[in-house]
Each structure stands twice: as C-alpha cells, then as structure tokens.
Amino acid sequence: MPSPRQASDNVLSKLKPVLTKRWLSPSAWRLDVYEELDGYKALRKALRYRPGDLVEFMKESGHRGRGGAGFPVGMKWQFVPDDGQEHYLVVNADEGEPGTCKDLPLMMNDPHSVIEGVLIGAYAIKASRAYIYIRGEAVHAARRLRHAIAEARAAGYIGKDVLGSGFDVDVHVHSGAGAYICGEETALLDSLEGYRGQPRLRPPFPATHGLYQKPSAINNVGSIAAVPHIVLGGAEWWKGLGSENAAGTMIYSLSGRVKNPGQYECSLGTTLRELIELAGGMEEGHELKFWTPGGSSTPMLTAEHQDVPLDFDNVAKAGSILGTTAVMIFSDQDCPVVSCWRWIQFYHHESCGKCTPCREGNYWMVHVYERILSGQGKPDDLKLLEDACKNLLGRSFCGLGDGATSCVTSSLKHFRQDYEDYIEGRKQPLFHADMIGAH
C-alpha cells in the first residue's frame, strides 16, 4: 500500500508534461541539445504553410492565452490586419502577478521553445521584428534568452531569409525596470516605446494599434512557448489534452503550504485536491484554509472548492477567475486579513496613478486594513472596504484596479469572521496603532 503522502497512480496520470518536458533534460537551454529534442522542427514545418493557414490552424487548435485572460491566440493573430504595414510580435514576459512563477522557469529551462514560438508567430502575422519584454529583475532569464537568440541567429533561424524561406525576422530582448503595471499590454507598449508605463485606452486593441501604433500581437510567454508543440502535435492532439472549452495543458504554479511547491503541468481542468496530492500533500501541521486559483487578482476560494475543475469556465462558475493558474495555498496558520493587507499594499504601490478610483481607492484601503489590524477597526470599516471596491470594480481604467478588489471582496465573503475578530478584540492586533499612524 502506498504511504498516504505518495501521489496515487490516478493522480500521477494527470501530469502531462509538454511545455515542461525538456526541463528535466540537462542543458536543454543549449541549441544543440534543443535540436536533439525536436527543436526547430516546428519552425521548418510552419514555414511550409502560408501565414494565413497557420493563423487558421491556431484557431482550430483552440489554444487560449496563458497571460491570464485566456483570449484565443489564433483569433488575436487574425485581428492583425494583412495590410502591408510593419507589424510586430511582442512577448509579454513581465510576469508580475503575485503568485505567478511559470514564465521565468520556462525561459530559463527552455528558452529556445519561446524563441521558436516567436518565430512561428512572427511568420504567421507577417512581423519582421519581435520584442520579448521581460521584467527587469529577471537578469538571469534575460541573459539566457539573449544567449539563445545569438545561438539561433548564428544557426540561421533568425535573420534574413530564415532557412531559405524568404522570411526575414529579428528578435530582441527588452528589459523592464520594476513596474507591475508594465505587464498590462498597453502599458507595456508605452514602456517599450521609452515612456512611463501607463495604460492606453482600448479599443483600439494592440492587434490594430500596437507598438508605434502599428498592428501588433502581444502574447504571454506560455502562450507562445506552446506554439511549436501545437504545430508539431496538431490541433486535435492539443485539444485532446485539455477539457471542453479549454484546449491543452496548463502549468499550474503551486506555492505556499504544500510539501513540494513547484510547477505542475497538467490537463486544463485538474482540481486543487489533485494538485495538492501531486505536491505531496499539505505541509505537516497545516490545514487548507484559502487559496487563489490564478494569482492575487483572482478571488480567493476555500477548502470547499477543492474539487472545482481548474479551467476557464468552471472556475468562473465557482466565483473566481482562472487567471495565470498561480495557485497560492494558505493554511489555518495564515490570516486572510493579513494577506489582503499585503496585497492591497502591493496594488497601492503599483497603481500607476492615472485614474482616481485606483490611485485613491487602494490608498484608502491600505489605511482601513492597518486600522483593523492594529485593533482600532470599527464595524463600519467592512462596509467602507466594500464601498471602496464598488467604486473600483469596473470604474478603473485598466485591469489593475479591478484585480485589486478580488481579494478584498472574496475574503469578506468567505472570511468575514476573521475581520470581525480583529475589530471586536478577539484577535491579538498584528501591530500597535502608533507604528502605522492608524487613527
């Protein structure tokens, strides 16, 4: 009999390494090793198709964006007009959503898969330049990507007349400088153009008015890295790996109170219960209390939601968002109020300041949280938080403001008692009122 901590065969069969397949091969980040492991075969295949056929193929595959919103990749590429203007492909490697930690290991362990995806994508939308916008702190991953690009250029995969196909393309890595908002695609574009990273009004979407106001496809690292696999495996294969309305595999990033946090690539639609089992169970002495299905901007769920299939539709039905499948797992030893306080501090710090609801709303919420956590909270404070969220949700200029409300409203819904315990003095204040100037 297997020990209770060992994942059962049943749950092990949920693991479907595709994007993470090469992570275990030593030095798969080197071009020669990558080529031995099917590297750049998909590019050769793709170049035999007409660009429009590739776009059609991506639509058929049902592949949806991995950057959090799940927009169909093929459809986005199709929205890029075929009008003879200069086009751009931009990869969003800003990975800033708290909890999200899949893109950096992807770029570290398998950088060529990202580059190969970029080349295929650029060919499909007829872009001759691509930029990979990577968060500034990820110096190691940027270095690895640059090295891989140099290798690919020397081998004739990047540059003029790629593999004799007549297709010219150049790829560059562009490092950001520490601003979460630059992950929002239009803020990213402003940043890439050399400005402060503040979101632009959409529509028009970047597909028609993107980098330098030219048609641009912006895709997440994971969306792009899947492309070579889909091209080689076929649309039906990719669809078969997932569940209904959710093609393919997903890298679930498990962090927090499990024995073995890490990246678990499974079919879309795997449940939290299964993921926890894959991760060796909960940490000793910890019991599941709350968790996020897809990062800090997705409403938290509770132990009752352990059997929700984690795909786009089912998570939405359960009242949250699949987001980036950044599954942060908290236990009975963690406090939802403290967690929200830290997250709201984060949103306050990262708000770009362009619109009032977000700039002021987060500022005030930080104060209310500090008041509550210092034992000075009033019963009305919970209503105040709810009102602040009402003024933010749907009234902010970009998704950051909306995202900030998720943890607040969901924790008030599921864990009101924890707030009341601070307010009514049943719980020891986290800090003294003088320390934070609460009043």
Ligand X SMILES: Cc1cc2nc3c(=O)[nH]c(=O)nc-3n(C[C@H](O)[C@H](O)[C@H](O)COP(=O)(O)O)c2cc1C
**Residues interacting with ligand X, by CB under 6 A?**
65-69, 71, 92, 94-97, 181, 183-185, 218-220, 223, 398-400
Q: Which of 302, 139, 126 is nearest to 214 (CA)?
A: 126
End-to-end Cα, the chain, rounded Å: 59
Q: Dihedral, CA atoms, 404, 266, 246, 295, nearest 10 degrees? A: 0
Binding segment for another protein among 63-71, 96-104, 114-122, 235-243 (CB under 8 A)?
96-104
Supply the minimum distance, in Å, between the C-beta of residue 386 and ligand X.
22
Q: Is 215 in the site for another protein (CB under 8 A)?
A: no
- With CB under 6 A as the contact rule, the residue among 14, 87, 97, 310 that binds ligand NAI is 97
Question: Residue 14: helix, strand or coil by DSSP?
Answer: coil
Q: Interhelix angle for 221-233 vs 51-61, to 10°?
A: 100
Closest CB to another protein among residues 188, 392? 188
Supply the minimum distance, in Å, between the C-beta of residue 192 and another protein.
6
Supply the minimum distance, in Å, between the C-beta of residue 381 and ligand SF4.
23
Burial class (CB in 10 A: 0-12, 13-18, 19+), 18: buried
- With CB under 8 A as the contact rule, the residue among 156, 178, 240, 437 that binds another protein is 178
Sign (positive or negative) of CA dihedral 25, 31, 33, 35: positive
The 99-138 site mask, x for binding another protein (CB under 8 A), equals xxx-xx------------------------x-----xxxx
Which strand (E) or helix (H) includes residue 174?
Answer: strand 170-175
Supply the minimum distance, in Å, between the C-beta of residue 153 and ligand X.
25
Cross-strand partners of 262: 254
Q: Is 76 in the site for ligand NAI (CB under 6 A)?
A: yes
Q: Is 401 in the site for ligand SF4 (CB under 6 A)?
A: yes
Binding segment for another protein among 156-164, 228-236, 344-352, 414-422 (CB under 8 A)?
344-352
Q: Which of 263, 306, 258, 261 is nearest to 282 (CA)?
A: 258
Place of tokens 């702190």: 137
The 266-295 site mask, x for binding ligand NAI (CB under 6 A), equals ----------------------------xx
Distance CA 347, CA 340 (A): 10
Distance CA 149, CA 127 (A): 17
Q: Which of 209, 2, 184 is nearest to 97 (CA)?
A: 184
From the list ligand NAI, ligand X, ligand SF4, none, pick the one residue 401 interacts with, judged by a Cβ distance below 5 to 8 Å according to partner type.
ligand SF4
Closest CB to another protein among residues 100, 249? 100
Contacts with ligand SF4 by CB under 6 A lie at 181, 199, 351-355, 358-359, 396-398, 400-401
